[in-house]
Structure 1
């Protein structure tokens, strides 16, 4: 059983996938499996993944027969994961050097929490890297692990799946999966943070989040942006069945309005 299952879905990221996969396999902490999911990509993503699998036995390949979208591709990777912790990485992003070693050390230091939240930096085509502007929320000062009620400021972070490590047993016990559609991170991340019995933070940039000139969801024009309503319906349906989480409803409502306004202001 490896320590980490790093799940990388790939769709139309041929130009970036080699760097992504190399950033995982070159980690100084080698106790991992890399589950690369070819989401029936029309470019050479599948061939790139097969090439890596041929030279490194830690690579496990999944070729989906038809395009399912990012959320379901991640689910396919989770179904095959055997590691203690799940780590998600998009096919156009990279892990920073020694990131998994830092995760492993912090997980041990904080007693194997359900969720470990770490930082990222946005990277631009000219080479500039800009750290998350609310990185102060990831301070390691104070007791750890903790629950969301102790550090509600974590909800101000970018609600994405790839800035956290998840104990696989916790994910299986809660039955969490990614939904279809755009903005699939929303009904995953909020339930994760609200239900985790133990959370810890790592004040370190572990992911370089590539800012592409094209390819970002907010740079597309499509009716699929209306999926954002369905995703928040899922979040509030999750709350409806769990009275003990009712305290989070006003907070999530405000976060929802902020998210909807962000989408709306991208008028293209």
Structure 2
């Protein structure tokens, strides 16, 4: 009987974590363990989790004595997991009651990784349209595919790289030393998921929206730091080397995949007009223009928003738009 190890990094989520844990406890499939890694929370997260663990021995708590970040929390969960498969769930999200039973049904087909679809919701549980937050609809194939084919789908923007989306065989992680990049609080999913897919012999897909991805204004995704730009670029450099070594046939698909991330890294720099790294921005600009050229006259088409940003970056105008917006906000705050 397949055992699922669920890993939950938790930092200051006392308001949400009980709902997350309850959604797991209510699963129709019950052969699982849950490893909650409390990343030195300063609220009552530890107490809420400990109370839950005392009621159900499938739930286990690991405490970090200092804040180490989401990557280290997930890595600790991998280290302590004993299941056949590992499933990463965030501490403020939920899963539908049939999530694990549907996943296990796919696993029993001889699968190394299963991708599940998701829905967006606000912190009150209200559904959010994907397009409203510029998420794209997953385009899952109806059949199982090889790991390389799954990477091609990822690079072609048919599937996403969220850590919660891929439930992967634990031996795939261990044999290939796949861990989340230490010290990165942004872009850690992007830097990891392609490896999980590539080293999986067979990948399956579940189009039913079994995961509820909660959007909060305080999440790292909505509040950038200047360092996030360099973190993202580190992941891009690693991916470049991986593709060059293992799947050079996907070079164009890779350019299509990393170009929006390069634009994002550049845009984050633009948000900090008094702290920008000009040399780094110049490097990003050159990479953006190089990859744009690679995609010219191909079947890969960027969004209108990204095309506009590329034009503004080309003529070094994007930073002035962000600068105008920066001072506009400062003016409102001073009133």
Q: Same fold (TM over 0.5)?
A: yes
2:127 aligned residue: 128
Partners of 2:219 and 2:76 in 1: CA distance: 22
Name which of 175, 192, 195 aligns with 2:177: 175
CA–CA separation in structure 2 for the residues paired with 1:253 and 1:174? 24
Q: TM-score, with normalisation over the residues of structure 2?
A: 0.72
Distance in 1 (CA, whole Å) between partners of 2:228 and 2:102 is 37
SS of the equivalent of 2:76 reads helix
TM-score normalised per structure 1: 0.89
Residue 112 (structure 2) aligned to one of 104, 111, 114? 114
- Is 186-195 or 61-70 further displaced after alignment? 186-195
| 1:119 match: secondary structure | strand
2:284 maps to what in 1?
none
RMSD: 2.1
Indicate whether 1:20 and 2:20 are aligned: yes
Q: Which has the higher contact order (CA 8 A, sep 6+)?
A: 1
Could you say which structure has the larger radius of gyration? 2
User: How far apart, in 2, do the equivalents of 1:125 and 1:39 lie?
Assistant: 21
Residue 92 of structure 1: CA displacement? 1.1
Question: What's the secondary structure of 2:222's corresponding residue?
Answer: helix
Paired with 1:92 and 1:153, the residues of 2 have a C-alpha distance of 28
1:115 and 1:167 in contact (8 A); partners too: yes
Find the counterpart in structure 2 of residue 261 from structure 1. 263
For residue 121 of structure 1, report the CA deviation from its aligned partner.
0.6
SS of alignment partner, residue 121 of structure 1: strand
Other structure's SS at 1:159 match: coil
- 1:33 maps to 33
The equivalent of 1:186 in structure 2 is 190
1:247 corresponds to: 249
Gaps of 5+ in 1: none
Give the total of aligned pairs: 261
Point out where structure 2 has 5 or more consecutive residues left out of the alignment. 272-335
Q: Is the Cα contact below 8 Å between 2:151 and 2:194 reproduced in 1?
A: no
- 2:160 is matched with 158
Counterparts of 2:255 and 2:145, CA distance in 1 = 27
Alpha-carbon offset, residue 128 of structure 1 = 1.7
